[in-house]
Protein backbone atom coordinates (compact mmCIF):
# COMPACT_ATOMS: atom_id res chain seq x y z
CA UNK A 1 0.00 0.00 0.00
CA UNK A 2 2.89 2.37 0.71
CA UNK A 3 4.62 1.37 -2.51
CA UNK A 4 2.16 3.20 -4.76
CA UNK A 5 2.59 6.70 -3.17
CA UNK A 6 6.35 6.12 -2.95
CA UNK A 7 6.49 5.33 -6.69
CA UNK A 8 4.46 8.44 -7.51
CA UNK A 9 6.73 10.60 -5.35
CA UNK A 10 9.86 9.08 -6.91
CA UNK A 11 8.47 9.69 -10.41
CA UNK A 12 7.67 13.30 -9.51
CA UNK A 13 11.19 13.90 -8.14
CA UNK A 14 12.76 12.29 -11.21
CA UNK A 15 10.62 14.43 -13.50
CA UNK A 16 11.59 17.62 -11.63
CA UNK A 17 15.30 16.79 -11.86
CA UNK A 18 15.10 15.93 -15.55
CA UNK A 19 13.23 19.12 -16.45
CA UNK A 20 15.98 21.48 -15.24
CA UNK A 21 18.05 23.11 -17.95
CA UNK A 22 21.33 21.36 -18.64
CA UNK A 23 24.50 23.43 -18.79
CA UNK A 24 25.66 24.18 -22.32
CA UNK A 25 28.88 23.40 -24.13
CA UNK A 26 31.46 26.11 -23.76
CA UNK A 27 34.56 27.31 -25.54
CA UNK A 28 37.10 29.00 -23.26
CA UNK A 29 39.79 31.07 -24.99
CA UNK A 30 42.61 32.75 -23.05
CA UNK A 31 44.19 35.89 -24.51
CA UNK A 32 47.62 37.15 -23.41
CA UNK A 33 49.00 40.71 -23.65
CA UNK A 34 51.52 41.31 -26.46
CA UNK A 35 53.38 44.07 -24.63
CA UNK A 36 53.38 45.86 -21.30
CA UNK A 37 52.43 49.35 -22.50
CA UNK A 38 49.43 51.39 -21.42
CA UNK A 39 47.38 49.80 -24.21
CA UNK A 40 47.80 46.40 -25.84
CA UNK A 41 46.16 44.05 -28.30
CA UNK A 42 45.63 40.60 -26.84
CA UNK A 43 46.72 37.44 -28.69
CA UNK A 44 45.73 33.80 -28.24
CA UNK A 45 48.18 30.97 -27.55
CA UNK A 46 51.38 30.50 -29.52
CA UNK A 47 51.39 28.71 -32.88
CA UNK A 48 50.89 24.96 -32.60
CA UNK A 49 49.20 25.27 -29.20
CA UNK A 50 45.45 24.92 -28.76
CA UNK A 51 43.75 28.31 -28.76
CA UNK A 52 41.24 27.24 -26.16
CA UNK A 53 39.43 24.47 -24.37
CA UNK A 54 36.07 22.97 -25.28
CA UNK A 55 34.09 21.93 -22.21
CA UNK A 56 31.41 19.26 -22.65
CA UNK A 57 27.76 19.82 -21.87
CA UNK A 58 27.99 18.70 -18.23
CA UNK A 59 31.61 19.75 -17.66
CA UNK A 60 32.79 16.17 -17.35
CA UNK A 61 35.11 16.27 -20.35
CA UNK A 62 37.45 18.88 -21.76
CA UNK A 63 39.40 18.76 -25.00
CA UNK A 64 41.81 21.09 -26.77
CA UNK A 65 40.19 23.52 -29.19
CA UNK A 66 42.24 24.81 -32.12
CA UNK A 67 39.76 27.10 -33.88
CA UNK A 68 38.78 30.65 -33.01
CA UNK A 69 35.27 31.94 -33.64
CA UNK A 70 35.39 34.44 -36.52
CA UNK A 71 35.66 37.76 -34.75
CA UNK A 72 33.39 40.46 -36.13
CA UNK A 73 34.52 43.26 -33.80
CA UNK A 74 37.42 44.49 -31.72
CA UNK A 75 36.43 45.54 -28.20
CA UNK A 76 38.66 47.62 -25.94
CA UNK A 77 38.30 47.23 -22.17
CA UNK A 78 40.10 48.55 -19.13
CA UNK A 79 41.50 45.40 -17.48
CA UNK A 80 40.01 45.24 -13.98
CA UNK A 81 43.17 43.83 -12.36
CA UNK A 82 45.98 45.68 -14.18
CA UNK A 83 44.24 48.92 -15.22
CA UNK A 84 45.69 48.46 -18.73
CA UNK A 85 43.58 49.02 -21.86
CA UNK A 86 43.24 45.71 -23.71
CA UNK A 87 41.75 45.09 -27.17
CA UNK A 88 40.15 41.72 -27.90
CA UNK A 89 38.81 40.19 -31.11
CA UNK A 90 35.32 38.92 -30.23
CA UNK A 91 32.40 37.39 -32.09
CA UNK A 92 29.12 39.09 -31.13
CA UNK A 93 25.82 38.56 -32.99
CA UNK A 94 24.05 41.51 -34.63
CA UNK A 95 21.24 41.47 -32.05
CA UNK A 96 21.15 43.70 -28.97
CA UNK A 97 22.51 41.91 -25.89
CA UNK A 98 21.71 42.29 -22.24
CA UNK A 99 25.03 43.45 -20.75
CA UNK A 100 25.88 42.52 -17.17
CA UNK A 101 28.93 43.78 -15.31
CA UNK A 102 30.32 41.30 -12.79
CA UNK A 103 33.17 41.51 -10.31
CA UNK A 104 35.47 39.65 -12.74
CA UNK A 105 34.30 40.87 -16.13
CA UNK A 106 31.46 41.58 -18.53
CA UNK A 107 28.73 39.28 -19.82
CA UNK A 108 26.91 39.75 -23.14
CA UNK A 109 23.67 37.75 -22.91
CA UNK A 110 21.61 37.04 -26.02
CA UNK A 111 18.47 34.91 -26.32
CA UNK A 112 20.34 31.63 -26.88
CA UNK A 113 23.99 32.69 -26.78
CA UNK A 114 26.28 34.14 -24.11
CA UNK A 115 29.76 35.67 -24.27
CA UNK A 116 31.60 36.25 -20.99
CA UNK A 117 34.79 38.32 -20.84
CA UNK A 118 36.69 37.55 -17.63
CA UNK A 119 39.72 39.55 -16.49
CA UNK A 120 42.30 37.39 -14.69
CA UNK A 121 44.87 38.49 -12.12
CA UNK A 122 47.86 37.46 -14.25
CA UNK A 123 46.90 40.12 -16.84
CA UNK A 124 45.28 37.71 -19.28
CA UNK A 125 41.66 37.72 -20.39
CA UNK A 126 39.44 34.67 -20.79
CA UNK A 127 36.55 34.78 -23.27
CA UNK A 128 33.88 32.12 -22.77
CA UNK A 129 31.39 31.36 -25.55
CA UNK A 130 28.38 29.37 -24.32
CA UNK A 131 25.98 27.87 -26.90
CA UNK A 132 27.84 29.82 -29.55
CA UNK A 133 28.98 29.45 -33.14
CA UNK A 134 31.14 26.37 -32.63
Q: Rounded mean pLDDT of the chain?
A: 79
- Please give the model's pTM, rounded to 2 decimal places: 0.74
What is the distance between the alpha carbons of residues 107 and 77, in angstroms, rounded to a whole number?
13
Confidence of residue 67 (pLDDT cuts 50, 70, 90): confident
Return the number of other C-beta atoms located less than 10 Å from residue 104's C-beta: 15
> Residue 12: which pLDDT band, with cuts at 50, 70 and 90?
low
**Cα torsion 114, 24, 131, 62: sign:** positive
Helix (H, G, I), strand (E, B) or coil at 1: coil
User: pLDDT tens digit string along 30-57?
Assistant: 888 877 766 666 676 666 677 788 887 7
Amino acid sequence: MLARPFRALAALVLLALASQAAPAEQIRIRYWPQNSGASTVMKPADAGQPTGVKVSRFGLRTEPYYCLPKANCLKTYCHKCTGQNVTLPIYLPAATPRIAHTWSGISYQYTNFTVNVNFLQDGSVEVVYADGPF
